[in-house]
Structure 1
Amino acid sequence: MNINATFFGELLAVLLLLCVPLFAWLSYRLGKRKTTTPVLVAIIGGVLGLIPIFALIFVAVLCLKNDLTVPSADV
């Protein structure tokens, strides 16, 4: 059985083009609620999007992190 390497390469490129922005956006959205540095969290999520299983673990850990508390303004 022949496997077309060009098709495999194109499939891998499309997967990376979808995973990196998806995990960067998802990490940024979660990072805004859960950390004080959402841009850094988004960069880490985007880089880990190159290896999707690590990105999934990163997002899962980020989801389990407690939300930041917003100090209430007593006026």
Structure 2
Amino acid sequence: MDLNATLIGQLIFVLAIIMAVISYYLGKRKTQTPLVTTIVGLVSAFVPPLAIIFLMALVLKNDVTETP
């Protein structure tokens, strides 16, 4: 099997989109700044092990309580 730069770039691009969506969803529930969380998730997609660690940290974080 031949891996070329185009295939790797496409995989990272798809991972970046998926990470941005998941980070926004989790950031909205678990942080007060979902936009910053989305940007960090998008950037972390360029280093896949870092992206997985970032997602694990978000999943394990407690939900933010809404104060009226």
Matching residue's letter, 1:68? V
Matching residue's letter, 1:58? F
Residues 1-57 of structure 1: CA distance to partner in whole angstroms, max 9, x if unpaired?
xx85xx511111111110111101101100000000000000000000011110010
CA distance in 1 between counterparts of 2:33 and 2:65 reads 15
Structure of higher CA gyration radius: 1
RMSD across aligned C-alpha pairs, in angstroms?
Answer: 1.5
TM-score (norm 2): 0.90
Matches within 5 A, 1:1-75: 7-71=3-67
SS at match of 2:32: coil
Query: How many residue pairs align between the two structures?
Result: 68
% same residue = 38
5+ residue gaps, structure 2: none
5+ residue gaps, structure 1: none
Matching residue's letter, 2:39? I
Structure 1 stretches of 4+ moved >3 Å: none
